[in-house]
Each structure stands twice: as structure tokens, then as C-alpha cells.
Structure 1
């Protein structure tokens, strides 16, 4: 096996163990082990990219019994390398940022061990040649996300959030496991590349392919926080902000889109892309509208993650692998920047997350405001920042595709336009205007330039620089350039809409917040606000269905059957045996002599009967 690939796969897990054990001896050592491990992983990925000439294809077998074998190969192509750069590059910046952010936490060894384990799961997932290896990496990340989201498990909310993430994503994982079983049974292969080849050649049953594609997409919905399995994504904000940046930017939520992209030809042949586009457009709209009314910094960014990942899904769903995956790459960078920027604000403001208690922080946190502003511009789709090119390409592709030119394109366009509204609201409420809580404002302290500002600056520069290399990125992830769909009218319309929304947001949230409060006090607006603030009550509906249908109806029916039929049959057998025993009990007295005499007398009668029968 390639030594660098072996190191890439094993180093995160080894680093996690070493970081934990050394951290128990001296807490600071946990950070340094994680930092060095992260840097080495990123450098190995860079080397693989620089040396790349052809895909690294390493077929292996997990175990074999007779003619039955389970594959566990490695396959690293340009798409894998881009995802590895995201995981390792943003991972090491996140670890660097955590030096100060987690400085006061007494459980740093446990934290850094889990982060490395989490990154290792993503590395395995995007390097897997077969569905088995992908599933193992998929589950590694699921376990690590549960452990990280509930990191502060001594508190109720983080503990509940971890369980929520575990249950929502496990529901999707059931369908992924079922898809693997169907593929193995009906196609005889779990090789991702071979599945694409067979589907292109028309050698697979289309109806079966459609079912399998939908099953895999349900798993992607769970992992990437799409409708209706997105509530865990909002609850995940109970974990450390550095964890949020990893989950929402660099790793876990990207895995759902990656698996669809890896099997893109399979989805095309199965004619399942319309399902992807429809769910993606609906999720983008729900996420964008819900983000408009959130009070907490991280909640706005969480709904934004849902919306922009959905835009990437729409790109895939309308047939543009280049647009969808390029937007995923762009989103990973600017969203990690925004989450870590929010972490810097929260840390400097003594863990206050409510934007309505902030305001005017640009005076004290100039660098944070600047770099977050660059992330805001990229997310909003302002050229020359990277987000403009990919988001515009997705919207244009949706409009130009006859199957998605209706409702799908309308929903994704609205979601794209609203990006500026909710992220502009976040920036203005946090950094512009006058301080709304002057006592809090006086306590705000500037974060460390080396540990906090440096990673923010690197990501801000990258999200700007990436705007000049969009076609190169698109070719890396899809083999094709971005579609030439940047229609002049669309660009002018989007930019005009964004400019108008920026002016409206600035006026209502900075200049005249009193008008905003009056509008929000109206009964109709209160109702709309409640719907959006609670994510269209999807989580409440899921819990209602789970409690009233599954638990109260289905589960109680099963319990009744168990008690009154199964248990009744078992208990009835006991009663019956007791009655039989009682009936036969009357045939003997319990005295040995009497019983022996009765037995001899019976044998004599039997013998006499036999003799009489013989005489006849």
C-alpha cells in the first residue's frame, strides 16, 4: 500500500489515542499532539495532490469465507483529494483556533481525541473504494459527532442534542445499510466506480436502481440536515463552536452530498436526480426563511448551513455536478470562517450568543468584523468572492433545466436572495450601530491575534482567492468547468436584489430597530415569526408522530399483543399443566405400597386382556 495513504488513514486514530493519553499527564500536550497531527495530515494531502497523476486504486478484502468476501478498498481521485483538503485544512485551522477557545475546559484531552477521531472518519469515508469502507467511515463520523455535540454532557441541553443528532442520523443510516444489502444481493458489487460504470452501460435494473438511489439519498438527508431530518442540525449548536465549525463546514454535513456526487452517474441512470433537486429546493427555502428570525448567532448559521447545502444538492439534482460540488467546496470555507468568527464573538462577549444584546462590536473586534464580513460577502454571493460564482451557477442551471425551471428554480432563487438578508442581519446586529447592552460592551475583550485572528484571516483570504479559481475547482471535483450559464440578466437581477435587501436590513436593524419591533408585534407577524423561528414546527411534528403513532399506538399495540396473547399463551400452558397434574393426582394416593399394588394389578389386567385376545 502507498505509505502516504496508510499514514493518512491511520494517523488520525493513532493521534487521537496519543493526544488523550499524553493529555492526561499534561493537559497542554493534548493540543500539541492534535495540532501536529492536523498539520501532518494536511501536508500529506498536499503531497498526494502535487504528485497526482492517476487515481490511487488499492483493492483490498476485509474478510473472506470460501467464495464469500467483503471488500474494503481505497480509491483516491481528484474529488477525494478536494474533500481531503477540506477536512484536513479546515480541521487544522479549527484545532489551532481551539487553543484559546477551549483553554479553560478541563477535558481537553477528551476533546482533541474526539476531534481527531472525527477527522479520521471523514478521511476514511472519502477515501473508500467500496460501500463497506464508506459505511464504516460514515458511522465513525456519526459516533464522533454524537460525542462532540454532547461534549458538555453534564448539562441537559448538550446531552439531549447529542442524542437527537444520533437518532436523526441513525434513521437515515438504516436506509444506507439497506441500500448496501440490495446492491450486494442484486448487483454482486459494492465498488463505487464499478457501480457508475455498470449503470452507464445499462446493465442494472432501473427500478431497482431508483429504489437504491432514494435509500442512499435518505441517508444523505439525515447526515446533511435536509428536510425533514434537519432538526438535529440546530440542536448541534449546544456543542463547542469549534465543533459546529467542523460539523457544519469541514466534514460531516458534506458527506451526504459527497456520496451522491460519488455515485452521480448511478443517479443519472436511475433518473433519481429530480428527487434530489426537489428535496434540496424545499430545504433551501425552509433554511433561508427560518434563518431570518433567529436570535442566536449560531442558530442563524445553522439554518444557513441547511440552506446552502441544499443549494449544492439542487446543483447536483439539476444535473450540474460541477456547480453543486463547487458550491459545496466554497461553502465549506466561508461557513467554517463564519462559525469560528461567531466563536470569537461569543468568547470575547463572555459567551453571549443573543445578537440583540450585542451591537457596535466592530469598534472593539475590528479584525473579527472584517474577516466575518468577507465570509458574509461570499455567502451572499457578491463578486469576486467564491460564493457568487457557484451559487449563481446553481441558480442558472436550475432555471435552464426544463425539469426544474418551475417551482424548484423559484425556491432556490428565493433562498439565494435571502442569504444576504439573514447573514447581513447577523453582521449588522453584531458589529454595526450602537451597543444595545452597554455593560456587556464594556466587558468585551479582543481575542488573541495568533490563535484566533490568524485562522480567520487565512480562511477569509482563501474564500476571496477561490473566486479566481472556480473553474479549476470545478474541474477537480467534476472533470468539467462551471456551466456557462451566468446570464447577464440573472446577474444584474441577483445583485440588485442583494443590494436592495442589504439596504432594507441596514435600515430596519441598525437605523430604525423600533419599526422592526412594532412590525413584529402585529398578530399576523407574530404567527409567521413563530412558524419560522421554530423551523416550521417540523421537529414538533416528528416528535408528535413518534409519541402518538409509534409509541402510543404501534408500540402499545405490540405491548398488548405481548401481554394478552404471547404471555397469556405461556401462562395458560402453566395453568393447563397444573390442571392435568391435578386430574392425574386423583389416580394415586402417594403411598408407595398402594401405588405398587395398583401397578401390579394393572399389569395383571393387561396380561389377562392380552391372553383373552389370543384365545379368541
Structure 2
């Protein structure tokens, strides 16, 4: 068992170094090192899953010891960790395999695969660590790697800016996690994730301290998982390769925020911070789903969809259901990785065309890709028997049973709109006639081994995994799934989705001209612009940062420099002159004057001594 743990800890980082060095010697070696390393990591995760006895793997280390100060760095692997390991390593391997063709013509493959393995290593470290300190290290590893991967094509200004934006937005949230670590260490005396849950269950933590720490940690989760208001980086991250988008939005980084809240679920329930989680997530789900309706780029539609569905998983946690939140995270990771890799296949086939409105008719040229993306779309929409139906219905049901009105309404709208934006996307890409001359002429043929194989595996996993939804819930939570489904709600969801589907299909059957006519109305154009720009949250953050924070600091610094520093510097000349004049009075050059000054000085000293002695 420890051998498998050691492989998970060290293999990704050793593989990253080897992929870069050997890839520089012979470029194809970079892929094969990454492929073998990814396979080894997935195999190690399977070994832990198969041989796990139910008792958590608990290994304690001390990272730093100085006097009474001891910073722990332990390993803790339970069922929750194992599920996250299987997601990170399994989808990571599929992503690496897919990249063989997608990144095959890129001259910087050694750098790419090294960063991908480093990224996967950061996620593994996060999910198997026992303490917030170790989790924070893994958290930061992912943040650094995501910056490097998003800005992989750094010679493009848009990619470089997107990487920097992702770095700054997520670092803003990470500051709060660092503050939570300090707060918990000082007031509670531990940052052990398991102990924090136990102390919360026993009511041995000050509620105010626990609430502040929980909200601080959630701020970090907001940054990593693209929740309101720190979600703009998630959309601009599409400047990176599509394989990077699949890795960030499906397998690893965006799931880390949900994982950390799930790991501290009892701690959050004790503080009542879950109320904040549920409401922020419901708002984020609504923003993501409505904004996805009007996007043009394939990857941006999927990015807003990621924001919406991660928020739906957060709602599950926020209304008090660990089972609902985690099962939707698992299902979302699989079908979203499938959708992003399918989008990558479409972009690869269509000569790197990303605008869905310029595509069309690809079902004839890539029928298998169309089929696999349709399966992912059905799962995202929540259509039975695909896995997304069971988890999304479970979250919505839990929200209606235990959430407030705001949460109920917004998460239900977000869930229903899923079928609208993903159906729109699939129809634009695959049906009708090609709307681009280059696509109408010739397309790249996707290979069976490198592109169709990972898509097919993910497509059938998202279909077949629905059979074991109850088993997965039991495995993660240790409890039997409680069937609290409201019959009328399930019927309402399915019937409403069917109506939305008919409306969307009807619009496109009538032709795109009808949509253009509807969209030409002034009021519709205003709504379109608001949704297209993500409710202008990025613009507001930029304005506040520039005009209030940066300019205010700059003006304050300038005022302090000109009014205080310059005044002090300028005042040295007249002050020095006055001192000079004062001392010059006593330097007349006459011996009598000097003798009188000396006698006066001696008299003052003697008088001071007498006063002191008398006082004693």
C-alpha cells in the first residue's frame, strides 16, 4: 500500500522532469514519458481502491520542527480521497492520451507534458494530504501549473494575459486560505483536517473563529472553482490548449474547491457557513447557465457550463447533502472532460475553428465524435439514463427540501437551462450545412487510437456509471442513499427540459434567420450583451481594481512622497542653517566669552547633580 502512495507522491514530479529533459533530446519521448507516468498513477490509484480495507491510510510526518513550533505534513487517504484520486489520475491519463494528436504539431511538447504532470501532481498532493498546510502546498502547485498551462502559448498576448489573470484571481482567494491556516493554528491549535471535523462534532471550537475560518477557506474555493465573483478567469483560461481546458475544467483544478469544502463538511455544518455556500453557489449557477446561452466560442460555452455545474454541486453541499454534492462532482468531472475533449476533436477537425457559428454539418464528417459529444451533452442536460440526470435531480431535490427560496429557484433555473445551451451548441456544430468554406472542403480525420478511443471510453463511462450511483454515494459517505425524491419535481424537471429541447430544436429547424430577427430587437440586444459579457463582473472588478485600489494607492503614495518626504528633505536646508546660526553665536573667537560659557556649563551640571541627589 505504501508503495502505491509513494508512486502517487513522487512519480508525477519525477515524470515532469524526465518528460522535459528526454523530450528535449528527442521530442516524442516527452509524450511517452507522460503517457507511462499517467498510466502508472492511474494504476496506483486502482491498487489503492482495490486493496483498501475501509480503514483510512494515516501516515504522520513533521515538515518543520523548531522549538515548540511543529508544522505537520501527513498523508490521509479514505474513500473520499480515493474517489478524487481516480478522477484526477484517470481523466489525466485520458487527457494525456488525447494530446498525442492534438498537441502533435506543437514544437514545445516537452514543456507542455512537464507542466501537465506537475499539475496532476499538485492535485494528488491536495487530495491525499492530512493537513491544511499540505493541502495549501498542493493548492499552490496547481495554481502555478495552471498559470503556466493557460499561458502556454505565451507569444500571444491574449494567452499571456489570461494566465496572469488566472494567477491573480486565484491568488486573491488563496490569501484567505493562508489567513485561515494562521487563525486555526493560533486559536484551535491544529490544522489537521480530520481533527477539525472531530472537534467541530464535539463542539470544542469557538463558533466565531470556526465561522471566520470556514468563510476564509470558502473564499479560496470561490477562486479555484470559478464562483461569483471570481469567475472571469475561468472563461479567459480558454486561451490555453483545449486539452488544458479539459484538465482544468474537468479533472483537477476546479474540483479542488468543492473537495476542500467536502473534506471539512462537518466543520462547515458546525459553523452554519453552508448557508453562505448554498446562496453564493445558486447565484453562480444562474449566472453561468444564462451566460452560456449566448456565447459563440465552443470552449466558452463549456466554461460557463462548468461554472454552472460546479455551482450546482456546491449547492448540494450548501443545503447539507454531502452525497448530492459529491456525486454531482464525480459525474460532472466525467461528462465535462468528455465534452471538452470532444470540443478539442471538433477544433482539431475544423482547422482550429472555435466559433460554433462558423461550423455546421460535421455529423457527416465525424459521426463518432458527434455521437460521443451527444452522450456527454445528454448527461450534462440531465436526461436519463445518463449519470447527470441522477446527480442533478438529487441536488435540485435536496435544494427544494432543505434550501431557501433563493437557492431553490436559481438552482432549478440553472439545471433546466443546461439542456438549452448544450443542445444549441451541438446543433450548431453538427447539423445543417458547413458555414465555413475551409470546413466544407476538407477536414482533419480524427484517429481511432488517439482521439476516438478516449472519447468513447468517457462516453460509455458517463452512461454506465449511472448504474452505480447509489454505490458511489455509499462508498463516499458511508451511508445508504436516502431516497427523498419528490415525484412531482422529477416529472416537472423532465417535462420542462423536453419543452425547452423542442423550443431550441424548433428555432433551428425554422432556420437561423429567425434567431437573427429575434436578436435584432433593441431590448434583446441589451440582454444579449449583458449575458455575453458575463454580467460585466470582470469589467466591474477591473474598474474597482484600477480606479479605487490602484489609483487610490498611487495617489496616496504620491501625496505622501510630495507632502511628507519632500517636505522633510526640503526642510533640512533651513533647519541646518538655523542650527548653524545657533552654534555660531557662541563662537566669537574671544577667550573671555569661552571662559564664561565654561563656567555656566559647570554650574548647570552641578545644579543638576544637586537636584538629583536631593530627589533621592
> What is the TM-score normalised by the length of structure 2?
0.95
Map 1:75-90 → 2, pairs under 5 A: 75-90=76-91
Q: Distance in 2 between matches of 1:388 and 1:191?
A: 36
Match of residue 479 from structure 1: 478
Map 1:573-612 → 2, pairs under 5 A: 573=572, 575-581=574-580, 584=583, 604-605=595-596
1:101 aligned onto 2:102 = yes
Q: Distance in 1 between matches of 2:422 and 2:350?
A: 19
Kept after mapping to 2: 8 A contact 1:428/1:510: no
Q: Distance in 2 between matches of 1:604 and 1:203?
A: 78
Deviation, 1:583, is 5.5
Map 1:55-94 → 2, pairs under 5 A: 55-94=56-95
Q: Distance in 1 between matches of 2:189 and 2:72?
A: 11
Change over 3 Å in CA distance of 1:608–1:416 after alignment to 2: closer
Deviation, 1:499, is 1.3
Deviation, 1:405, is 4.0
Q: Distance in 2 between matches of 1:475 and 1:539?
A: 40
Deviation, 1:573, is 3.9
Change over 3 Å in CA distance of 1:191–1:579 after alignment to 2: same
Match of residue 45 from structure 1: 45
Q: Distance in 1 between matches of 2:394 and 2:451?
A: 33
Map 1:385-400 → 2, pairs under 5 A: 385-400=386-401
Q: CA-to-partner distance for each residue in 1:321-355, whole Å, 9 max, x for gaps?
A: 00100000100000000001000000110110111
Q: CA-to-partner distance for each residue in 1:155-193, whole Å, 9 max, x for gaps?
A: 100000001101110110011111111000000001000
Match of residue 452 from structure 2: 453
Q: CA-to-partner distance for each residue in 1:486-537, whole Å, 9 max, x for gaps?
A: 3221222111111111111112134321111100000000000000000000
Which deviates further from its counterpart, 59-68 or 245-254?
59-68
Match of residue 21 from structure 1: 21
Change over 3 Å in CA distance of 1:446–1:203 after alignment to 2: same
Map 1:491-570 → 2, pairs under 5 A: 491-570=490-569
Kept after mapping to 2: 8 A contact 1:196/1:265: yes
Q: CA-to-partner distance for each residue in 1:422-472, whole Å, 9 max, x for gaps?
A: 001010110012222244222222211111111101100111111100011
Q: Distance in 2 between matches of 1:100 and 1:447?
A: 9
Deviation, 1:584, is 4.2
Change over 3 Å in CA distance of 1:608–1:267 after alignment to 2: closer
Describe the SS at the equivalent of 2:415.
Answer: helix
Deviation, 1:209, is 1.1
Map 1:112-511 → 2, pairs under 5 A: 112-401=113-402, 404-511=403-510
Deviation, 1:554, is 4.0
Q: Distance in 1 between matches of 2:101 and 2:205?
A: 53
Kept after mapping to 2: 8 A contact 1:58/1:73: yes
Match of residue 11 from structure 1: 11
Q: Distance in 1 between matches of 2:112 and 2:18?
A: 13
Deviation, 1:60, is 0.9
Q: Distance in 2 between matches of 1:608 and 1:508?
A: 108
What RMSD in Å do the two structures reach over aligned CA positions? 1.9
Which deviates further from its counterpart, 206-215 or 240-249?
206-215
Deviation, 1:406, is 1.1
Kept after mapping to 2: 8 A contact 1:323/1:483: no
Q: Distance in 2 between matches of 1:607 and 1:199?
A: 76
Deviation, 1:477, is 2.2
Match of residue 592 from structure 1: none
Kept after mapping to 2: 8 A contact 1:322/1:481: no
Which deviates further from its counterpart, 518-527 or 444-453?
444-453
Deviation, 1:558, is 3.5
Structure 1: runs of 5+ lacking an equivalent? 589-594
Change over 3 Å in CA distance of 1:397–1:410 after alignment to 2: same
Describe the SS at the equivalent of 1:500.
Answer: helix
Q: Distance in 1 between matches of 2:202 and 2:435?
A: 63
Kept after mapping to 2: 8 A contact 1:429/1:510: no
Kept after mapping to 2: 8 A contact 1:393/1:483: no
Q: CA-to-partner distance for each residue in 1:92-118, whole Å, 9 max, x for gaps?
A: 110011111111111111100000000
Q: Distance in 1 between matches of 2:149 and 2:308?
A: 23
Deviation, 1:475, is 1.8
Deviation, 1:569, is 2.7
Q: Distance in 1 between matches of 2:214 and 2:332?
A: 25
Q: Distance in 1 between matches of 2:450 and 2:408?
A: 42
Describe the SS at the equivalent of 1:469.
Answer: helix
Q: CA-to-partner distance for each residue in 1:41-63, whole Å, 9 max, x for gaps?
A: 00001001111011000111111
Q: Distance in 1 between matches of 2:600 and 2:576?
A: 32
Q: CA-to-partner distance for each residue in 1:204-225, whole Å, 9 max, x for gaps?
A: 1112111111111111000000
Kept after mapping to 2: 8 A contact 1:356/1:429: yes
Q: Distance in 1 between matches of 2:21 and 2:383?
A: 46
Match of residue 34 from structure 2: 34
Deviation, 1:581, is 3.8
Deviation, 1:608, is 6.8
Q: Distance in 2 between matches of 1:582 and 1:106?
A: 75
Describe the SS at the equivalent of 2:76.
Answer: strand
Deviation, 1:479, is 2.0
Describe the SS at the equivalent of 2:464.
Answer: helix
Describe the SS at the equivalent of 1:203.
Answer: coil
Structure 2: runs of 5+ lacking an equivalent? 607-616
Change over 3 Å in CA distance of 1:182–1:611 after alignment to 2: closer
Q: Distance in 2 between matches of 1:57 and 1:289?
A: 44
Q: Distance in 1 between matches of 2:274 and 2:565?
A: 46
Describe the SS at the equivalent of 2:135.
Answer: helix
Q: Distance in 1 between matches of 2:603 and 2:216?
A: 78
Q: Distance in 2 between matches of 1:372 and 1:606?
A: 100
Deviation, 1:476, is 2.3
Q: Distance in 1 between matches of 2:465 and 2:356?
A: 30
Q: Distance in 2 between matches of 1:606 and 1:525?
A: 92
Q: Alignment length, in residue pairs?
A: 604
Change over 3 Å in CA distance of 1:567–1:176 after alignment to 2: farther
Q: Distance in 2 between matches of 1:568 and 1:483?
A: 73
Change over 3 Å in CA distance of 1:363–1:585 after alignment to 2: farther
